[in-house]
Amino acid sequence: MNDRNTDTGIGAAVLRKEDRRFITGFGRYTDDINEVGQCHAVFLRSPYARADIGEIDVSAPLEMDGVIAILTGRDMAADGLGDLPCGWSVKSKDGSDMISAPHPPLASERVNYVGEPYGVVLAETRQAARDAAEAVATDFGELEAVVVLKTATSSEAIHEAVPQNRCYLWELGDEQATDAAFQNAAHVVTLELTNNRIIPNAIEPRAALATHNPASDEITLYTTSQNPHLARLILSAFVGLSPEHKLRLIAPDVGGGFGSKIFVYPEETTVAWAARRIARPVKWAADRSESFLTDAHGRDHLSRVELALDADGQFLGLRVRTTANLGAYLSLFAASVPTYLYGTLLAGQYRTPAIHVEVEGVYTNTVPVDAVRGAGRPEATYVVERIVEVAARQLGIDPVELRRRNMIQPDQFPYQTPVALVYDTGNYQASLDRALDAIDYGGFPARRAASEAAGKKRGLGFACYIEACGLAPSQLAISLGAGVGLYESGEVRVNPTGSVTVFTGSHSHGQGHETTFAQIVSDRLGVPFDDVEVVHGDTGRVEFGLGTYGSRSVAVGGSALVVAADKVIAKGKLIAAHMLKADPAAIDFESGEFSVRDSNQSLSFGEVAFAAYVPADYPEDLEPGLSEKAFYDPENFTFPAGTHIAEVEIDPQTGVTEVVAFVAVDDFGEVINPMIVEGQVHGGIAQGIGQALLEHGVYDDQGQLITGSYMDYCMPRADDLPDFDVDTTITPCTHNPLGVKGCGEAGAIGSPAAVMNAITDALGTEEITMPATSEKVWRICRGD
Amino acid sequence: MRYAAPTTTREAAALIAKAKGRAFVLAGGTDLLVRMKIGTIEPELVVDIKRIPATQSITKSATGFRIGAGVPTAAMGENNALKKAWPGVVEAANLIGSDQIQNRCTIVGNLCNASPAADSVPALIAAGAKAAIVGPRGRRTVAVDKIVTGPGTTSLKKGEFIEAITLPRPPPRSGDAYLRFIPRTEMDIAVVGAGVSLTLGPNGVVKKARVTLGAVAPTVVLVPAAARAITGTRLEDVALAKLAAACEAACNPIDDMRGTIEYRTEVAGVLARRAAKIAYQRAGGN
């Protein structure tokens, strides 16, 4: 590491550069941007969960003031636009391909969830568009909806092409070995689990603003995307909106995503198409109700879990059968979330020798379900850490002791799990020990007794989680069905005055990349932190990128910048050698200085940068300029891991559950900016506690979303949460140049299991599902 | 829509009385503006009463307190005399919405919005508050529990509005309290609310009590049977059990995903017991 930059270099808690504009109101979000002549889009949405679309009468609304056009799915189909694809294809256990239901951006014949768009009104003002949308008379032939996950495969087929509504029946692991393990088991512990449906609720609802330039035939689409290059690729290659070089996507400041802005949605697609069709810039900004109805939801699993143990409490086998709700259509990552991002994590931190998992991916008449913060890994952690806790209770073994007996030991890495992954490094005992100290495990019995004396119930719960981050080694991902590689690009462009502009294919929508990445490059090149500017989120400025999700930005995007920076140093050495009339092999670079080894001759980074652009007497083989690009493809996933402990106190008379303490000790490998890391962990824990205690996306039996507002969908707030006690242990990642693993999702992965283990500990029953609302807890307390 | 901001009560009453369409009084606006923006009401006339001096102050007199209809609840929380006399009322008023809302919202607005779940209303009724009404035929004073007649409806006649709420001066050895249950800890609408006001006699025995419940019936309910259950007691367990039973018997709640009938009913009893204990302590009982 660079000595000169200890206050801004790697490891320093630098205040976030971007916060200056955010807290002074100078953030520039999609809806802040306006184009001359823009009009406003309001979507025609299905009021039914499943219906045939009959005649759409737009004659009256077309006469209304300010209405420019009303376009429907039939117009879009006539223009030849293609379906929205799923980017990941999964095979069933019998070798057959998953069945992907056609997903036109605007429905033309049938709608399959409440809120599905089948048309768009374009008008001079948002209000005029809204009024006109209400005046559109559409004949719907309502059909029976398939809403209940448990019975979806025995219900009528939603899509003609998908018998039994089954998209796939996927498996991973050795079924025979697992069956054998169960036959030899001294104990078998069984648990039925529900992972509740959650709605992501980014603070900025989705928005889009598209302009078509008739002179260049280029479409520019500003939109709330976590991965603008991937969105452009899909809109071009699959939807056929426009050739890739005639399509520019800009994701300016984006107010949170949590996964929901990875995907290519109907609305953004429609806005871009409509702008060209009516030759006017078109803007759309979702209101909060539209976010609830149409942002991809998360989780929604039903699982049966069985753990086989020997007489000493050693895990012998784990068998998991999961039904995963995919919603009405496959969203962009939907197929992979309950399979490759879930089944592969079922070894957890343990040496379970035999694991077999089967996942049935099922269509229902609900909004598509896709990745939400953690994406598959919170579900896996919930399965593993709930059954381990229950096993400890049933066997009468301390839950910490049972985990210790089964944990992978620090000297066993690299560790091949029975579910495909190879963990490169870790020290699970270290984070567990640190967390036990922080929660004062020894003092818990006294705290519990004090609660009981006050008429309260107290419980403690653990989650020792593992996640696979830094998505992903391209070769592995593509062999498993990914439609693209999962490398990342980076460019380090040194300006003639020595300042640096960094271009990254990662995208920041709250994560603080403009700070973290500047720290990395500043540290590597020895240039001042304030001289490094990070550019992201614009396909017109950044060469390529795969975006931000799966805690991949630093591990993959940051690594790409390191490689590019190293290329800059290598080129700089050639220039310095030329200027100092030395052998390039004799040039050293350290702390922003190029020097000739064993001499007092040196040049500053700025002098070399200037010379790169003012090549007075360059030899033929030395190109001017100092700008380098890199594509970094990771060798493996990274494996952040840690221990989360929740302590809860319950008021049995009202069922009110208070999380009184929460400890998270995480191993993220090397840490670039500890303040940003801590913030990421805090946010993740808040979301996980929200899922465990409060949040639940509910459809009624007609397929109407009955939690479509903040009155009925209960988000956690600061005073629902304790002060978090957050710490890190470090085993550096072995295969990327920064030694980093990623920290964006860990909080949401560990916390639901920890909280539910604490609640079930307090209540003395496993019979409670997330969210553990006051009323559910109250019913258990009174013995219902 | 017309907007008027008169400076006298009489002028305001005349404007409202003469309105051809629907007229609404604007104080904090935290309910009215929201309903206007989402289009559930389309007023012909909005009368802003905040420029009428009589609506803008909290005054203390020998007989008690007068809280103007334009006084934000945050200002109630800053009035030490009021807080000392009626801590339960002030706490209830400052459970409405968030800090930002409390800088605008008023207890008269909370009352006239006529929600069964209004937080300040159970505490006001328990405290024996009265509404000072101004109308085309002059002034009248009505107990707060006679104002709301059902969800969204009041007994105010055309042209009438409430200029202020009055609270009596509490007798010595009195205390009040309000508790509510919500799925979260703030910024939500009560699933159950319970208000208790009581006065102790010699030896710490409850001499007089009023018990109210919110969000468990179409209007806030005064529960005389619950008051009787603790009158003449020192809130012994038996008395508290009778109080809870009386409260449960008075419940007629809705059943929704925020709380079932069963849950709202039983929690009403729990909250009433706890509120009674707090009020008792505040009255100097132990």
> What would the DSSP string read from start to end of A531-555?
GEEEEESBTTTSS----S-TT-III
Whether A410 has a pLDDT exceeding 60, the answer reads yes
DSSP secondary-structure letter at A670?
S
Residues of B in contact with A713 (CB under 8 A): none
The pLDDT assigned to B259 comes to 84
Contacts of A269 (CB under 8 A, 6+ apart): A81, A84, A105, A235, A239, A241
- Measured in degrees and rounded to the nearest 5, phi and psi for residue B37 equal -70, -35
Which residue in B37, B115, B181, B184 has the most chain A C-beta atoms within 10 A of its own C-beta, making it the best mutation to test that interface?
B184
Same domain, A654 and A565: no
Dump strand ranges (E) for A247-350: 247-250, 282-285, 298-309, 315-327
Whether A645 has a pLDDT exceeding 60, the answer reads yes
Q: Domain for residue A21, yes or no? A: no
Q: Domain for residue A99, yes or no? A: yes
Residues of B in contact with A782 (CB under 8 A): 266
- CATH code at position A491: 3.30.365.10
- Measured in degrees and rounded to the nearest 5, phi and psi for residue A13 equal -85, 65
pLDDT for A596-639, tens place per residue? 999 999 999 999 999 999 988 888 899 999 999 999 999 999 99
* pTM of this structure: 0.95
Instruction: Determine, for residues A720 and B270 on separate chains, whether the beta-carbon distance falls below 8 Å.
Output: no
Instruction: Determine, for residues B185 and A717 on separate chains, whether the beta-carbon distance falls below 8 Å.
Output: yes
Residue type, A598: D
The full set of domains in chain B, from first to last, is 2-51+58-168 (3.30.465.10), 174-282 (3.30.390.50)
Q: Enumerate residues 163 to 202 of chain B having a beta carbon within 8 A of any beta carbon in chain A.
A: 181, 183-187, 189
* Residue finishing a domain among A598, A632, A666: A632
The pLDDT assigned to A1 comes to 41
- Measured in degrees and rounded to the nearest 5, phi and psi for residue B52 equal -90, 115
- Pairwise CA distance, residues A656 & A455, whole Å: 13
Q: CA dihedral defined by A218, A221, A225, A226, rounded to 10 degrees?
A: 30
Same domain, A461 and A491: no
Secondary structure of residue A106 in the 3-state scheme? coil
Secondary structure of residue A412 in the 3-state scheme? helix
Same domain, A566 and A691: no
Shortest alpha-carbon distance between residue A719 and chain B (Å): 7
Contacts of B172 (CB under 8 A, 6+ apart): none
The pLDDT assigned to A6 comes to 66
Q: b vs e for B88-122, b when ≥16 Cβ sit within 10 Å of the residue's Cβ?
A: bbbbbbbbbbeeebbebbbbbbbbbbbbbbbbbbb
* Residue finishing a domain among A271, A294, A317: A294
Secondary structure of residue A514 in the 3-state scheme? helix
* Secondary structure in 3-state letters for A690-701: HHHHCCCCCECC
The two tokens of residue A491 are 């460019």
Instruction: Determine, for residues A775 and B181 on separate chains, whether the beta-carbon distance falls below 8 Å.
Output: no
Domain that holds residue A513: 487-632
- The percentage of residues in chain A with a pLDDT greater than 90, rounded to a whole number, is 96
Same domain, A541 and A674: no
* Residue finishing a domain among A632, A658, A674: A632
Residues of B in contact with A707 (CB under 8 A): 257
Question: Do residues A388 and A428 touch, judged by C-beta distance below 8 A?
Answer: no
Whether A86 has a pLDDT exceeding 60, the answer reads yes
The pLDDT assigned to A3 comes to 45
Rounded to 10 deg, the angle between the A377-395 and A746-763 helix axes is 30
Question: Do residues A397 and A321 touch, judged by C-beta distance below 8 A?
Answer: no
* Secondary structure in 3-state letters for B206-240: EEEEEEEEECCCCCCEECHHHHHHHCCCCCCHHHH
Which residue in A774, A780, A781 has the most chain B C-beta atoms within 10 A of its own C-beta, making it the best mutation to test that interface?
A774
Question: Do residues B137 and B146 touch, judged by C-beta distance below 8 A?
Answer: no
H-state helical runs in A440-533: 444-453, 474-479, 513-525
B260 touches chain A (CB under 8 A): yes
Same domain, A640 and A728: yes
Same domain, A281 and A426: no
Q: Domain for residue A734, yes or no? A: yes
- Pairwise CA distance, residues B86 & B176, whole Å: 6
Instruction: Determine, for residues A720 and B185 on separate chains, whether the beta-carbon distance falls below 8 Å.
Output: yes
Residues of chain B with pLDDT under 70: 184-187
From A33-42, A617-626, A654-663, the region with the lowest mean pLDDT: A617-626
Same domain, A565 and A442: no
Q: Domain for residue A493, yes or no? A: yes
Q: Domain for residue A24, yes or no? A: no
pLDDT for A180-205, tens place per residue? 999 999 999 999 999 999 999 999 99
Of B187, B258, B270, the CB nearest to A654: B270
Q: Domain for residue A195, yes or no? A: no
> Does the complex come out with an ipTM higher than 0.85?
yes
Whether A97 has a pLDDT exceeding 70, the answer reads yes
Question: Do residues A465 and A753 touch, judged by C-beta distance below 8 A?
Answer: yes
Same domain, A728 and A582: no
Which of A132, A110, A105, A111 minimizes the C-alpha distance to A121?
A: A132
Instruction: Determine, for residues A654 and B260 on separate chains, whether the beta-carbon distance falls below 8 Å.
Output: no
Total number of domains constituting chain A: 3
Same domain, A521 and A556: yes
B237 touches chain A (CB under 8 A): no
Same domain, A498 and A586: yes
The two tokens of residue B233 are 């007691």
How much is the mean pLDDT over chain B? 94
Residue type, B47: V
How many CA within 13 A on the CB side of residue A645?
A: 23
Same domain, A586 and A642: no
Compute the average pLDDT of residues A262-284: 98
Same domain, A540 and A451: no
